[in-house]
Amino acid sequence: MNIPRCIEWVGDLDGYVRIIDQTLLPEEVRHIECRDAETMFEAIRSLRVRGAPAIGIAAAMGLVLGIRKTTGSENDFFAELNRQRQYLAGARPTAVNLCWALDRMVRCAESLRGKSVEQIKKTLWSEAQAIRDEDAAACRAIGKFGSRLIPDGGGVLTHCNAGALATAEYGTALAAIYSAHEQGRRFKVYCDETRPLLQGSRLTAWELMQAGVDTTVICDNMAAALMKAGQIQCVIVGADRIAANGDVANKIGTYGLAVLAKAHAIPFYVAAPVSTFDLNCPTGDQIPIEQRDPNEVLCFRGKVSAPAGAKVWNPAFDVTPAKLVTAIVTNRGVIEPVDLGQITRIMRAPST
């Protein structure tokens, strides 16, 4: 299968991070080279690199870019490390993977106090790549556990992009789909276009078609009719942050799909690595929701689509209550039913 790699470090510590500029897809596949933390911050904020696991990897690699030229004492190094951590953490608020990766990097550096600064820099560079490699392995494990949920025959609905373009490789929700496809199961995948930024039609449809999966694009407002027509046997989406009680923050529109799935007695699955769980958030009410530029709603692909001066509400994410989620597929197994007890069990389980 032909599956893209959206982010990778090229060369040694003096090298650069190569990302696919996802704002240009599907018309153009162009890579950009990030050589400093500022370029990476901008890439995350403007969704050139996006999707919860991928922005965790991007932040970890961005931190290496931010500190690799630091000179001076150990104290100077740690002051700069913490400054860069704070800076990158502000790029986007909802996906917990971003802060999770930055905190892991800082913990790694702290464990090396007393070693030379050059040694710490090299180890941080390896740690960022370990975060990438572990995410790739997590996606494969999600694919293995999740493929069983994909029906042979019938239709699967997904929202936004939780595929290779949102992770190190292979995806989360799309990992289940890719894995089922590789096993020879036959089914149709319906991609919500996902207004306002069209991650479903631009990105998910693009990568599924490259992989040879039977793909159909629908506008967001067509999902209910499709379900009523009996064309959808399950919904599977990714997640940006999952609270301790199983409430799921994901791309705006996910909550509506979960309500529709319930009304039509269709299973609603979420796929995410354990790095997307935030046990410090007791419920979804504590998850910060990113508000984005009104122009994303007032314009459609650069063309004005609403009257000038119209008010706009543009949250990038919504929260689906745990009670609407049939199961959560993780890299350590499937959580079903979705509740604190089952989540705690999976968080304590060893990785496969």
Phi, psi angle pair for 271, to nearest 5°: -125, 130
Q: How far is the CB of 53 from ligand MRU (least distance, A)?
A: 5
Taking the least distance from each CB to ligand MRU, the nearer of 199 and 201 is 199
Q: How far is the CB of 119 from ligand MRU (least distance, A)?
A: 33
Taking the least distance from each CB to ligand MRU, the nearer of 68 and 181 is 181
- H or E stretch covering 38: helix 37-45
Give the nearest residue (CB) to ligand MRU.
238
Q: How far is the CB of 216 from ligand MRU (least distance, A)?
A: 19
Taking the least distance from each CB to ligand MRU, the nearer of 58 and 109 is 58
Asked if 339 is an active-site residue, the reply is no
Token pair recorded at residue 134:
């572990």
Which positions lie near ligand MRU, rule CB under 6 A?
47, 50-53, 95, 160, 162, 166-167, 172, 199, 237-240, 250-251, 316
Taking the least distance from each CB to ligand MRU, the nearer of 88 and 109 is 88
Q: How far is the CB of 165 from ligand MRU (least distance, A)?
A: 9
Distance CA 62, CA 105 (A): 11
Cβ burial of 256 (10 Å; 0-12, 13-18, 19+) is middle
Distance CA 64, CA 321 (A): 36
Taking the least distance from each CB to ligand MRU, the nearer of 98 and 260 is 98
Taking the least distance from each CB to ligand MRU, the nearer of 95 and 176 is 95
The CA distances from residue 148 to 31, 135, 193, in Å, are 35, 21, 25
Closest CA to 167 of 2, 4, 44: 4
Selected catalytic residue, list 135, 240, 247, 278: 240
CA neighbours closer than 13 Å in the CB half-sphere of residue 230: 1
Q: How far is the CB of 266 from ligand MRU (least distance, A)?
A: 19
Q: How far is the CB of 69 from ligand MRU (least distance, A)?
A: 29
The CA distances from residue 334 to 97, 120, 131, 328, 345, in Å, are 20, 37, 22, 6, 10
The residue behind tokens 């995948």 is 189
Phi, psi angle pair for 228, to nearest 5°: -60, -30
Phi, psi angle pair for 27, to nearest 5°: -65, -40
**Active centre residues (catalytic):** 240
